[in-house]
């Protein structure tokens, strides 16, 4: 599977912090049925076996709806569960090495904060970029923010899809109009909400408006 720009519209990054009565698998399925177009499984505190088990459960859902599914940081789990790809940050494995490990047919996403990082990531084999944090975020409180001007520079400077991430919620999605991004990546804006279905539907509508509005 290779990623296309429309896959980026509403990109969900999981977080077990907000699990309530529903399992993560059920939460993700609710989100997909309500408009999520891409799923990243992000787990920082699970051992390999538990991570792999969760990844396989998640893949059964994303396969059913034909939604791209990537694993955050962990190439070994991504390959073992048959995920569509992997997403890595600037402090993880070097992008070219990841590409060599996963092969040419898997999706490779890379987190960037500057135009230089973005161009290098594309040259090294990235299929899409995650840029952020575009707003301050409780998910990564130590993350530096990326200005709207830099976000625009990155979008104009690469040919692969770009998704913005970090502190995005219903009230600020439209602040990203005209930036050139192909979509938004969110964590708490979906998974921390009492009504995931309602939140996802609203975000999907706002993301569509944001992507197809050149100025706001």
Give the pLDDT confidence score for residue 52 in this predicted structure.
97
Question: Does residue 65 sit within a domain?
Answer: yes
- How far apart CA 211 and CA 216 sit, in angstroms, is 11
Residue 113: both structure tokens together:
């904060």
User: In this structure, what token pair is assigned to residue 57?
Assistant: 């459960």
**DSSP H helices in 39-112:** 48-65, 75-81, 95-102
* Alpha-carbon dihedral sign for residues 112, 37, 34, 21: negative
Strand partners, 186: 12
Q: Known catalytic residues?
A: 42, 111, 140
> Which residue has tokens 């059920």?
26
**Global pTM?**
0.95
pLDDT mean across residues, the chain: 93
Whether residue 216 lies inside any domain: the answer is: no
- At 181, is the pLDDT very low, low, confident or very high (cuts 50, 70, 90)? very high
Give the least confident one: 17-31, 49-63, 183-197.
17-31
What pLDDT is recorded for position 214? 66
Residue 123 placed within a domain: yes
Q: How many domains does the chain have?
A: 1
Element (H, E) at 76: helix 75-81
Determine, yes or no, domain membership for 57: yes
Q: Which SS3 state, helix, strand or coil, does residue 12 take?
A: strand
For residue 133, what is the domain's CATH number?
A: 3.20.20.70
Q: Which domain holds residue 108?
A: 5-211
Q: What is the dihedral of CA 42, 15, 151, 181, to 10 degrees?
A: 90
For residue 146 the two structure tokens come to: 């990326």
């Amino acid at each position: 599977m290779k990623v296309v720009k429309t896959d980026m519209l509403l990109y969900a990054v999981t977080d077990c912090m907000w699990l309530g009565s529903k399992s993560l698998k059920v939460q993700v399925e609710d989100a997909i049925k309500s408009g999520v177009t891409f799923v990243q499984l992000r787990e920082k505190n699970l051992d390999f076996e538990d991570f792999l088990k969760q990844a396989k459960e998640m893949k059964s859902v994303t396969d059913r709806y034909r939604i791209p599914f990537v694993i955050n940081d962990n190439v070994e789990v991504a390959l073992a569960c048959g995920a569509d790809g992997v997403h890595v940050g600037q402090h993880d494995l070097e992008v070219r090495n990841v590409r060599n490990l996963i092969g040419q047919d898997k999706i490779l996403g890379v987190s960037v904060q500057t135009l230089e990082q973005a161009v290098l990531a594309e040259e090294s084999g990235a299929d899409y970029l995650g840029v952020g944090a575009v707003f301050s975020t409780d998910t990564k409180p130590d993350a530096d923010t990326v200005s709207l001007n830099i976000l625009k520079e990155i979008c104009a400077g690469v040919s692969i899809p770009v998704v913005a991430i970090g502190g995005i919620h219903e009230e600020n999605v439209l602040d990203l109009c005209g930036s050139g991004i192909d979509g938004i990546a969110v964590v708490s804006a979906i998974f921390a909400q009492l009504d995931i279905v309602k939140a996802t539907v609203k975000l999907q509508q706002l993301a569509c408006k944001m992507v197809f509005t050149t100025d706001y």
